[in-house]
Amino acid sequence: MRKIIAASITAGSFITFTDPSLAADRDRGARLAAMCASCHRLDGGDGGIPTILGMSPEMLTRTMLAYRSRERPSHIMRAIALSLSDEEIATVARYLAALDKQVRP
């Protein structure tokens, strides 16, 4: 399942990014991911803080919701998870999954 979703997004970003809605989604994802980059390296490098690349969009979404509900403890992740809307979490999760394919093919 994960493979199919990620593959279609990757294909989308390579070939049909001239589709304005896809490009806009990617732009929004990139801007949200910029916020993650203050603590998580997004180039595949290992900075010590757990990487958020290589997670499926579903997994990343579940993790964010667990931080939001306090099921997983972290001041920082809780503040971020509460700040993002469900739609924004889905957008950044899609972006990171696509980015993963670029930086760690």
Partner 1 sequence: MRARTRREFGRLTGAMALAALGPRLAAGEAKARVVVVGGGIGGATAAKYLAASARTIEVTLVEPKPNYTTCFFSNLYLAGLCSFESLTHGYKTLAQRYGINVIHDSVAAVDPVAKTVWLKSGPKLPYDRVVVAPGIAFNYDALAGYDEAATQVIPHAWNAGPQTQLLRRQLESMDDGGVFVLVAPPNPFRCPPAPYERASLIAYYFKQHKPGSRILILDAKDNFNSQDLFLDAWERHYRGMIEWLPAQFTGGIKAIDVKERSVRTAGETFKAAIANVIPPQQAGQFAQQIGLVDQSGWCPVDPITFESKLQPGIHVVGDAASAGDMPKSAFVANSQAKACAFAIVEALAASERAPPHLFNTCYTFLSPDDAVSNAVSFKPVAGTIKIIDNFVSQVQESAETRHRAAREAQSWYAAFTHDTFG
Residue type, 97: A
Q: For residue 42, give both structure tokens.
A: 């997004």
Q: Which is nearer to partner 1, 1 or 95 (CB)?
A: 95
C-beta separation of 17 from 23 below 8 A: yes
Interface of this chain with partner 1, residues 44 to 73, rule: CB under 8 A: 45, 47-49
Q: For residue 82, give both structure tokens.
A: 């509460």
Residue linked to tokens 């690349």: 53
State which of residues 2, 8, 86, 102 lies at the interface with partner 1 (CB under 8 A).
102
Interface of this chain with partner 1, residues 77 to 96, rule: CB under 8 A: 78-80, 82-84
What distance in Å separates the CA atoms of residue 74 and residue 13, rounded to the nearest whole number? 33
| Binding footprint of partner 1 on the chain (CB under 8 A) | 13-14, 17-18, 23-24, 26-28, 30-35, 37-43, 45, 47-49, 75-76, 78-80, 82-84, 99, 102-103
